[in-house]
Homo-oligomer: A and B are copies of this chain.
Amino acid sequence: MTALATPGLLALDRAAQDLLFRAARTANTFTDEPVTDAQVAAIHDLIRYGPTAYNGQPLRVLLLRSSAARARLLPHLSSSNRAKTAAAPLVAVLAADVDFHERLPELYPHRPQARDWLGDRAARAEQARLNATLQIGYLLVGVRAAGLAAGPMAGFDAAGVTREFFPDGRHETLLVMNVGHPGPDAWRARLPRLSTEDVVRTL
């Protein structure tokens, strides 16, 4: 890895680098060990400090713990995602609250008029999606910070999940994420990553 050639450039120690990124993997199987509400609260208490535009914090998390709730989700997942989601200790539906701006007078108190800048729903929904997705990035790091593995899934019918779980019309589903301790054969070999030269250009 390139970092071996550049020691000392990261302030984060190697154990934490491994926990959060280098050794962490997306899990496709999990043990039966539960993920408790206290763990979820500890993860949220960590990652809620991550920045969002206007401090708007649009991410909303719906935990599906009951088998009845889980059963409502499964038909909206791609067939390859159903069995592992049915068996995961915890399933989180991650959505953006498009009406996050209603709380800006409290969350962004030095500029309470920010609520009114976000009056246009389409522009606000774009901001909600962008910032809630940033927060999902923080959340995935937070799940790993708790010693757990995440299994984020793109293969699902987002509009269907939104209709099923957020009939209020103010939320947009972004991702479904399984969470737990990795089980047997939880992942395949690490897939290739792009190089810095592939990703970063300089002007």
Residues on B with C-beta less than 8 A from A13 are: 15-16
Kindly supply a per-residue 1/0 record for chain A positions 163-203, scoring 1 wherever the CB is within 8 Å of any chain B CB and 0 otherwise: 00100000000110000000000001011111010011111
B200, A44: Cβ atoms closer than 8 Å: yes
Residues on B with C-beta less than 8 A from A137 are: 50, 133-138, 140-141
Kindly supply a per-residue 1/0 record for chain A positions 56-92, scoring 1 wherever the CB is within 8 Å of any chain B CB and 0 otherwise: 0101111111101100000000000000000000000
A60, B16: Cβ atoms closer than 8 Å: no
Distance A24 CA – B47 CA, assembled complex (angstroms): 11
Residues on B with C-beta less than 8 A from A63 are: 200-203
Q: How far is the CB of A146 from chain B (nearest CB, A)?
A: 5
Chain A: number of interface residues, binned into ranges: 35 or more
22 contacts between A and B (CB under 8 A): A1-B45, A2-B41, A6-B41, A9-B38, A11-B146, A12-B145, A21-B138, A41-B200, A44-B196, A44-B199, A51-B150, A54-B154, A57-B193, A60-B200, A60-B201, A62-B202, A63-B200, A65-B202, A134-B136, A134-B152, A137-B140, A138-B140
B134, A140: Cβ atoms closer than 8 Å: yes
Report A1-21 residues with CB < 8 Å from chain B CB. Answer: 1-3, 6, 9-13, 15-17, 19-21
A6, B42: Cβ atoms closer than 8 Å: yes
With A21-B47, A62-B202 known, 19 other A-B pairs at CB within 8 A are A9-B42, A22-B46, A41-B200, A44-B196, A44-B199, A48-B194, A53-B152, A53-B154, A55-B192, A57-B194, A60-B201, A62-B200, A63-B201, A68-B203, A108-B191, A130-B133, A133-B134, A134-B152, A137-B137
Q: Which of A2, A51, A62, A201 has the most chain B CB atoms closer than 10 A to its own CB?
A: A51
Residues on B with C-beta less than 8 A from A40 are: 196, 200
